[in-house]
């Protein structure tokens, strides 16, 4: 439908009498032309004012090939003298303030947020290319973080049974649905099967318990958290150890676990399934033997471990790569990681008028990954999301590529130390 859009700062001020930030521009859609004309014509006005309305309406209707009509441009092009433009602008503003006060509040007081672009998965579902990580966000912290994230525009939320926060995450989502901020289908919720539940007979029960904790009817994406199985003791013993403090693992085959996860899709409990912390050979083994393809491989990925080869490998097979720890867990007291505090990153931040975190996240999106930065700080949650109004040049991507060292923050040393056959990092990628 043909619509009138507030397209510039002056247009916004003209119609609302308010200053509107550049982030909000292009998102105020008052009415379509017919409704707008009707409202103006029914407004109590002097003959001069009605004449002004009539002139503007005709000018708007002439813009039939424009899907976004700038009120500022129409007024500017329609009236020759500055006094006429001023009078028209004042008339528009007064009409807006008095006749459309509720509409003004609706659109200008509580704008619909800009959403992240999405990528189509190999099963047809859409996954936002940026998500909120919630590792170590517990108690009220996780709930508050997710609610703020949804208000900002996040629709991709990542959690796990291991994080022990699914109840809070689910509550935050349900509350936002109840408020009318989002519908369930707007949210792309990711959670994970923990390693104590790898025996095929435990998979469905684990998933149902997680749905109960979340308070939701289905999970958008269910991942196998690790290719390595741990000994089951009870539901709360997530890292089972013997009296010597040695992690207790089993030889359960991740392929059997994955086949049990396929049944969850058939039961309607989850829409998509995938893996996490799998190397290329492990992923290929799943692809060679599965009935339902994994849609993503969630792995550690940052400028220090940019996963270029694994990303390409996944892409060639129709699998996305989700990036956890994308910012490398910044430690300001140590000025670590290097890529975050580097003068080169700071120079790029200055060039694009962004922060180092925004440069890093944009880099990861530009090289084809789906970062899920974790934060419980409202300001940083907002900052991390504000990366869709710029792209890095090829030269600047090359600058960020140079930070790659292959060093891991999460090497799973407890598994490595026992030389488990499924420890994923014994090959290059």
pLDDT per position as a tens digit, 212-265: 999 999 999 999 999 999 999 999 999 999 999 999 999 999 999 999 999 999
Say whether both 164 and 227 belong to one domain. yes
Which pLDDT belongs to residue 17? 41
Say whether both 96 and 126 belong to one domain. no
Q: Chain-wide mean pLDDT for the chain?
A: 85
Cβ neighbours of 291 (radius 10 Å): 10
Tell me if 199 is assigned to some domain. yes
Q: Are 273 and 261 within 8 A, CB to CB?
A: yes
Say whether both 93 and 151 belong to one domain. no
Cα–Cα distance for residue pair 425/429, rounded to 1 Å: 7
Tell me if 43 is assigned to some domain. no
Tell me if 113 is assigned to some domain. no
The reported pTM is 0.76
Say whether both 98 and 132 belong to one domain. no
Cα–Cα distance for residue pair 339/360, rounded to 1 Å: 8
| Active-site residue set | 163
Say whether both 198 and 251 belong to one domain. yes
Q: Which residue has the higher pLDDT, 65 or 221?
A: 221
Tell me if 44 is assigned to some domain. no
Tell me if 332 is assigned to some domain. yes
Q: What are the counts of helices (DSSP H) followed by strands (DSSP E) for the chain? A: 18, 14
Q: Which residue has the higher pLDDT, 39 or 191?
A: 191
Cα–Cα distance for residue pair 257/31, rounded to 1 Å: 53
Question: Which of 221, 79, 87, 71 is closest to 156 using CA atoms?
Answer: 221
Question: Which of 77, 88, 89, 96 is closest to 39 using CA atoms?
Answer: 96
CATH at 224: 3.20.20.100
Say whether both 209 and 77 belong to one domain. no
Question: Which of 209, 137, 207 is closest to 378 using CA atoms?
Answer: 137
Say whether both 245 and 365 belong to one domain. yes
Say whether both 204 and 73 belong to one domain. no
Tell me if 197 is assigned to some domain. yes
Say whether both 140 and 267 belong to one domain. yes
Say whether both 391 and 314 belong to one domain. yes
Q: Is 191 exposed, middle or buried (0-12, 13-18, 19+ CB in 10 A)?
A: buried
Over the range 401-419, which residues count as b (16 or more CB within 10 Å of their CB) and which as e? eebeeeeeeeebebbeeee
Instruction: Provide the domain limits for residue 129.
Output: 121-417
Give, in degrees to the nearest 5, the angle at Cα 198 between 192 and 202.
95
Which pLDDT belongs to residue 81? 63
pLDDT per position as a tens digit, 104-147: 344 444 567 889 999 999 999 999 999 999 998 777 899 999 99
Say whether both 230 and 275 belong to one domain. yes
Tell me if 76 is assigned to some domain. yes
Q: Which residue has the higher pLDDT, 2 or 288?
A: 288
Say whether both 90 and 195 belong to one domain. no
Total domain count, the chain: 2
Tell me if 21 is assigned to some domain. no
Q: Are 190 and 221 within 8 A, CB to CB?
A: yes
pLDDT per position as a tens digit, 369-420: 999 999 999 999 999 999 999 999 999 999 999 999 999 999 999 999 999 9
Which pLDDT belongs to residue 341? 97
């Amino acid at each position: 439908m043909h619509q009138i859009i507030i397209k510039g700062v002056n247009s916004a001020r003209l119609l609302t009498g308010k200053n509107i930030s550049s982030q909000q521009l292009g998102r105020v859609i008052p009415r379509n032309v017919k409704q707008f004309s009707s409202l103006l014509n029914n407004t109590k006005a002097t003959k001069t004012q009605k004449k002004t309305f009539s002139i503007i309406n005709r000018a708007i209707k002439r813009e039939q090939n424009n899907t976004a009509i700038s009120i500022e441009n129409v007024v500017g092009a329609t009236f020759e003298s500055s006094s006429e433009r001023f009078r028209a602008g004042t008339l528009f503003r007064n009409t807006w303030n008095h006749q459309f006060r509720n509409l003004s509040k609706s659109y200008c007081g509580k704008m619909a947020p800009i959403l992240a672009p999405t990528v189509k998965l190999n099963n047809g579902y859409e996954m936002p290319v940026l998500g909120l990580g919630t590792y170590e966000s517990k108690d009220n912290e996780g709930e508050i973080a997710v609610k703020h994230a949804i208000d900002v525009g996040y629709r991709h939320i990542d959690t796990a049974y291991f994080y022990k926060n699914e109840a809070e995450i689910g509550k935050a989502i349900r509350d936002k649905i109840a408020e009318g901020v989002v519908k369930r289908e707007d949210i792309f919720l990711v959670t994970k099967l923990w390693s104590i539940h790898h025996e095929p007979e435990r998979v469905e029960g684990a998933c149902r318990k997680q749905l109960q904790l979340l308070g939701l009817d289905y999970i958008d994406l269910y991942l196998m958290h690790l290719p390595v199985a741990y000994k089951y003791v009870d539901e709360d013993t997530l890292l089972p150890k013997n009296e010597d403090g040695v992690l207790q693992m089993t030889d359960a085959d991740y392929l059997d676990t994955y086949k049990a996860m396929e049944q969850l899709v058939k039961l309607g409990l989850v829409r998509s399934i995938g893996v996490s912390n799998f190397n290329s050979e492990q992923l290929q083994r799943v692809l060679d033997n599965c009935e339902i393809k994994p849609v993503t491989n969630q792995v550690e990925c940052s400028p220090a471990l940019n996963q270029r080869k694994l990303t390409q490998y996944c892409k060639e097979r129709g699998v996305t790569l989700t990036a956890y720890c994308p910012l490398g867990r910044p430690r300001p007291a140590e000025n670590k990681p290097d890529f975050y505090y580097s003068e080169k990153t700071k120079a790029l931040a200055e060039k694009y008028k962004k922060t180092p975190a925004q440069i890093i996240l944009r880099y990861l999106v530009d090289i084809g990954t789906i970062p899920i930065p974790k934060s419980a700080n409202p300001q940083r949650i907002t900052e991390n999301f504000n990366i869709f109004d710029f792209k890095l040049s090829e030269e600047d991507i090359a600058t960020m590529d140079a930070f790659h060292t292959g060093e891991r923050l999460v090497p799973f040393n407890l598994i490595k130390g026992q030389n488990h056959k499924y420890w994923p990092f014994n090959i290059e990628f």
